[in-house]
Amino acid sequence: MSQFFQIHPVNPQARLIKQAAQIIHGGGIVAVPTDSCYALVCHLDDKGAVERLRRLRGIDEKHHLTLLCRDLSELGVYARVDNRQFRLLKAATPGPFTFILEATKCVPRRLSHPSRKTIGLRVPEDAIINALLSELDQPLLGTTLIMPDEIDPLNDADEICARLGKQLELIIDGGACSMEPTTVIDLTGPDAELVRQGRGDATAFGL
């Protein structure tokens, strides 16, 4: 069975954040609230955890997973960003956006799109996930917590526990969050392209 932590959404308890980071370092998959909806996250460099995460979501290697980063300087390690892209990113982060960008060599090949060599990245605005990123001192790999063959993300920690309690190592209850996933914007072309409209306002990108 999963462990179940109730963590304060504004002032996360350092002791619980440290324990959550240890679970992730040990190969665990964690359900965590974000500034959009709940996500499943795991360690960036744990191949086994990444494969399990994909199986839980029912997605293959062509589906972008997302690197959750603390800030734009960290994002720049994993994506090639020119001045135009940086200005757009700076205007919209932190926030409920996922950006498709060209991956650098720092991204393990198994994590980038197999044909396009792109990666999804985001800088969330959420106290719990940011405390976890700071404790880990590196990005997390994540995906929206939507079950296979369903449309809406799971939004309630108790429901997540009931449905996935035997498949996750930890569920973090930070209170209910939005039912809307992130807005996904592809910045790899000459113009920004809206891939999915979600919680983030895409009008800042002229979309």
Q: For the chain, what percent of residues have pLDDT higher than 90?
A: 59
Coil/strand/helix, residue 159: helix
> Phi and psi at residue 100, in whole multiples of 5°?
-90, 120
When computed from its CA atoms, the radius of gyration of the chain, rounded to whole angstroms, is: 16
DSSP 10: S
Whole-number pLDDT of residue 180: 86
Confidence check: pLDDT of 112 > 70: no
Whole-number pLDDT of residue 114: 63
Whole-number pLDDT of residue 185: 94
Average the pLDDT over 68-75 and give the result. Answer: 90
Average the pLDDT over 137-159 and give the result. Answer: 91
Q: Are 56 and 150 in contact (CB under 8 A)?
A: no
| Residues in CB range of 81: below 8 A, 6 or more apart | 75, 89, 101
Q: Which range, 52-56, 87-91, 114-118, 131-135, is most confident?
A: 131-135
Q: What pLDDT digit, counting tens, does each position of 41-61 carry?
A: 999 889 899 999 999 999 887
Average the pLDDT over 18-25 and give the result. Answer: 97
> What pTM, to 2 d.p., does this model score?
0.91
Q: Are 198 and 184 in contact (CB under 8 A)?
A: yes
* Cα separation, 23 vs 27, whole angstroms: 7
Confidence check: pLDDT of 156 > 80: yes
Least confident of 2-16, 31-45, 100-114, 139-153: 100-114
* Cα separation, 74 vs 60, whole angstroms: 26
Alpha carbon 94 to its chain's center: 13
* Cα separation, 204 vs 25, whole angstroms: 37
Whole-number pLDDT of residue 113: 64
Return the residue matching tokens 């939005």.
178
Half-sphere exposure of 173 (CA within 13 A, CB side): 12
SS3 content of the chain, % helix, strand, coil (to 5): 30, 20, 50
Whole-number pLDDT of residue 118: 87
Architecture of the CATH domain 3-205? Alpha-Beta Complex (3.90)
Whole-number pLDDT of residue 21: 97
Q: Are 89 and 81 in contact (CB under 8 A)?
A: yes
